[in-house]
C-alpha cells in the first residue's frame, strides 16, 4: 500500500516491500508518528550520530534523512522498502547508512531511537551490541504500540543502558525514555545460543543447532519443525535443494547430512536467521556444498533450476496475520522448480495451505499429519 504520512519533516509517500496494490497495511503506524512528533516538539538535537534500530519499513529514517541517520535492521525487506522510500523523497545516495544486525554498529551514538521489535531476545541482543557506543549524553527514545511494550521490555533497557520510564499512551502508542548510566556494567550477551538436539530426529539426532537472537524458537526445537524433520523426503543423487525461510537452518542441514551430494541453498529475509543457518551448518561439519543467502524468497534463483523446496512459511508480518508471505513463497517455488520438482510444506492444519497449492500447482498431497500440523507435497507438472 502506497500512502502518505504527515510528519514534522514533511509529508512522505511510503510503501512496504514488495509493493502490492492489494495490500491494505500501511508502512508506518501511530508509534512512528508519536516518536517523530516528540523529537520535533521537544527540539531533540539531531546534529550528532543518529541511530535508528528496528525501523519497520524505513518510515523513521526517511523522515529524518536530512540528519544522516544510520538504520540497523534484521530485515532484508525493510532495507528494500527503505531504499524505495528514500528514493521517493529524492534523498541522496549514502545520506542514510543501511546496516544489518550482523554489521558492526557505529562507535559513538548521540541519539538512539528504538522501534521495539516483536522479539525480546532481538531487543536484548541489539541493546547489548550498542551499549558500548552510548554515552552519558546520548538521547535514548524507544517507541512501540502499547501491546508491544511490556514490563520485561522496560527492564531490558534498565538492565543494559540505565533508568527507564514510559510516556502516556497516544493512539495506542507509547514512548520509552532511557537515561544512560555510564557506570552500569552491561551483562554478558547470551547470543548466539547453541543447544544439542535429542535423539530420534533422523539425520540431525544429537546434532548442534545455533541460534542468533530473534530467530523463531531460538532456545529449543519447535514442535512444527520437529514434525517436519521426521517426515522429510528421502532420496539422493546430488539434488539442488532450497531451505526456504530457513530460520536456524536445521531442516537444510538435515538434508545435507542425509545426502552429502546435495547442493543446499539456505535463504531467509532475516540476517539473523541466515547467520544462524550458516553457524548450524558449520557446527555439524557437513561435507556437502551449501550457499547462504539473505533475500526475498526465491527472487534471483533461476527458473527451473531447483529439484526440491522445503518450506515452513510464516503467517505473521510483525503484528499482522497474513498469508501474503506464504503465497509469495509458494509462487516463487513453482517458478524455481524444474518439471517434476517438489515443494514440501509444513503448516498448521487450520491455515489451509492445500487450497493455495492446488490453485498454483494443480495438485497437493498430504504426506503426514497430527492433530496440529500437516506436511503437504506439491509437484510441478
Check residue 238 and give its pLDDT: 72
Averaged pLDDT for residues 209-225: 93
CATH 3.40.50.150 for the 193-379 domain, yes or no? yes
Q: What is the pLDDT of residues 145-201, one digit of tens each?
A: 999 999 999 999 999 999 999 999 999 999 999 999 999 999 999 999 999 999 999
Is the pLDDT at 322 greater than 70? The verdict is: no
Q: Which helix (H) or strand (E) holds 282?
A: helix 271-283
Q: What are 17's three cell numbers?
A: 516491500
Check residue 8 and give its pLDDT: 95
Q: What is the pLDDT of residues 45-60, one digit of tens each?
A: 999 999 999 999 999 9
Is the pLDDT at 302 greater than 50? The verdict is: yes
- Taking each helix axis as running N to C, give the angle between helix 250-258 and helix 271-283, from 0 to 180 degrees, rounded to the nearest 10: 30
What is the number of other CB atoms lying within 10 angstroms of the CB of residue 22? 6
Confidence of residue 70 (pLDDT cuts 50, 70, 90): very high
Share of the chain above pLDDT 90, in %: 89
Average pLDDT, the chain: 94
Check residue 316 and give its pLDDT: 45
- Taking each helix axis as running N to C, give the angle between helix 151-160 and helix 120-130, from 0 to 180 degrees, rounded to the nearest 10: 20
Averaged pLDDT for residues 302-311: 97
Check residue 323 and give its pLDDT: 77
Distance separating alpha carbons of residues 91 and 81, to the nearest angstrom: 14
Averaged pLDDT for residues 283-303: 94
Strands 337-348 and 306-311: parallel
Strands 320-321 and 316-317: antiparallel
Q: Are 180 and 161 in contact (CB under 8 A)?
A: yes
Give the list of residues 6+ apart from residue 160 with CB closer than 8 angstroms, or none.
Answer: 124, 127, 128, 131, 184, 186, 187
Pick the CATH number of 3-178 from 1.10.3210.10, 1.10.3720.10, 1.20.1250.20, 3.40.50.150: 3.40.50.150
Q: Are 313 and 288 in contact (CB under 8 A)?
A: no
Check residue 2 and give its pLDDT: 53
Strand-pairing partners, residue 310, are: 243, 344
Q: What is the pLDDT of residues 24-47, one digit of tens each?
A: 789 999 999 999 999 999 999 999
Check residue 318 and give its pLDDT: 44
Q: What is the pLDDT of residues 265-275, one digit of tens each?
A: 999 999 999 99
- CATH 3.40.50.150 maps onto the chain at 3-178, 193-379
Averaged pLDDT for residues 126-148: 98
DSSP 134-146: EEEEEEEEEEEEG
Averaged pLDDT for residues 262-289: 96
pTM, rounded to two decimals: 0.94
Amino acid at each position: 500500500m502506497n500512502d502518505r504520512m504527515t510528519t514534522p519533516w514533511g509529508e512522505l509517500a511510503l510503501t512496504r516491500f514488495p509493493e502490492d496494490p492489494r495490500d491494505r497495511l500501511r508502512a508506518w503506524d501511530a508509534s512512528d508518528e508519536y516518536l517523530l512528533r516528540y523529537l520535533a516538539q521537544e527540539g531533540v538535537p539531531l546534529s550528532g550520530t543518529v541511530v535508528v534500530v528496528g525501523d519497520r519499513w524505513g518510515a523513521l529514517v526517511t523522515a529524518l534523512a536530512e540528519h544522516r541517520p544510520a538504520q540497523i535492521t534484521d530485515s532484508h525487506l525493510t532495507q528494500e522498502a527503505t531504499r524505495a522510500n528514500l528514493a521517493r523523497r529524492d534523498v541522496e545516495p549514502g545520506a542514510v547508512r543501511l546496516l544489518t544486525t550482523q554489521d558492526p554498529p557505529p562507535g559513538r551514538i548521540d541519539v538512539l531511537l528504538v522501534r521495539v521489535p516483536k522479539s525480546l531476545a532481538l531487543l536484548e541482543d541489539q541493546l547489548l551490541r550498542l551499549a558500548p557506543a552510548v554515552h552519558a549524553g546520548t538521547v535514548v527514545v524507544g517507541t512501540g504500540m502499547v501491546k508491544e511494550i511490556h514490563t520485561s521490555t522496560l527492564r531490558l533497557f534498565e538492565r543494559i543502558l540505565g533508568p527507564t520510564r514510559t510516556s502516556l499512551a497516544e493512539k495506542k502508542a507509547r514512548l520509552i525514555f532511557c537515561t544512560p548510566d555510564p557506570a552500569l556494567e552491561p551483562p554478558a550477551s547470551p547470543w548466539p545460543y547453541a543447544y544439542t538436539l535429542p535423539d530420534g530426529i533422523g539425520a540431525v539426532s544429537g546434532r548442534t543447532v545455533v541460534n542468533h537472537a530473534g530467530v523463531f524458537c531460538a532456545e529449543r526445537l519447535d514442535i512444527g519443525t520437529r514434525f517436519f524433520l521426521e517426515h522429510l523426503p528421502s532420496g539422493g543423487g546430488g539434488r539442488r535443494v532450497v531451505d526456504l525461510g530457513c530460520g536456524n537452518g536445521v531442516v537444510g542441514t538435515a538434508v545435507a547430512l542425509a545426502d552429502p551430494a546435495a547442493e543446499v541453498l539456505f535463504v531467509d529475509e532475516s540476517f539473523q536467521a541466515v547467520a544462524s543457518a550458516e553457524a548450524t551448518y558449520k557446527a555439524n561439519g557437513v561435507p556437502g556444498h551449501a550457499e547462504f543467502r539473505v533475500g526475498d524468497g526465491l527472487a534471483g534463483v533461476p527458473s527451473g533450476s531447483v529439484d526440491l523446496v522445503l518450506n515452513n512459511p510464516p503467517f505473521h508480518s510483525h503484528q499482522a496475520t497474513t498469508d501474503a508471505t506464504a503465497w509469495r513463497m509458494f509462487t516463487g517455488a513453482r517458478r524455481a522448480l524444474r518439471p517434476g520438482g517438489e515443494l514440501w510444506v509444513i503448516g498448521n492444519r487450520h491455515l489451509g495451505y492445500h487450497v493455495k497449492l492446488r490453485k498454483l500447482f494443480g495438485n497437493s498431497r498430504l504426506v503426514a499429519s497430527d492433530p496440529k500440523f500437516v506436511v503437504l507435497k506439491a509437484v510441478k507438472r
